[in-house]
Amino acid sequence: METWLTVLVGLAGLVLSAVGGWPLTAGVLRLAAKSPDSGPAGTAPDGTALATSPGAGASGGGADPGAAAPDATAPDATVSGPDDDAGLRGGTWIGILERLAITGSLVAGYPAGIAFVIAVKGLGRYPEIREHPSTSERFVIGTFASMLWAVLVGVAMRQVLEL
């Protein structure tokens, strides 16, 4: 494959990984929130009450699908992205960077780079997850969906570039 075509295919793959993973992760998190074991907002699957922060019910895992979204014009309203929760800010940007790093590692032939991404993300988010235990399920589901997408795109990109 010619150099310019290789670069173009590589960039297209990175964009597909970063941007394409966003709606996929959001969809998986919505499905998880509607699952029978998620329970109503503020409760664990066994029915016990969870400590939640303001705004978590509308965007957190286990939210009531029929609940109204917070009013974005309210002074203390929380507007969340697919990887965000009341206790986990910046999740959308972290997800984009995570998918870029994973796909880039696989395309470069360095799959061990995935371990670094997992370690950095886990260690970086640990204090927030510890402070907001109700977000841990959402964190794990979102991270897994995001990483799975990045791996699929990275493996496909590697195969295309080896042609």
Reduce the DSSP state of residue 85 to 3 states and report it. strand
CA distances from 18 to 22, 53, 71, 100 (A): 7, 29, 29, 6
Q: What is the pLDDT of residues 101-151, one digit of tens each?
A: 999 999 999 999 999 999 999 898 888 888 888 788 889 999 999 999 999
- Between CA 29 and CA 24 the distance in angstroms is 9
Residue 89 to residue 25: CA distance in whole angstroms: 16
- Cα-trace Rg, the chain: 18
Best mean pLDDT range from 1-15, 49-63, 136-150: 136-150
Q: Please count the helices (runs of H) and the strands (runs of E) in the chain.
A: 5, 0
| Confidence grade of residue 63 (pLDDT, cut at 50, 70, 90) | very low
Instruction: Map tokens 């640990």 to a residue.
Output: 126
More confident: 136 or 65? 136
In this prediction, residue 38 carries a pLDDT of 63
Dihedral Cα 24, 32, 101, 163, nearest 10 deg: -50
**What pLDDT is attached to residue 106?**
93
Its pTM stands at: 0.67
Greater model confidence, 44 or 23: 23
Contact 62, 37 (CB under 8 A): no
pLDDT at res. 89: 80
Mean pLDDT, range 75-92, rounded to an integer: 53
Instruction: Look at residue 43 and give its three-state secondary structure.
Output: strand
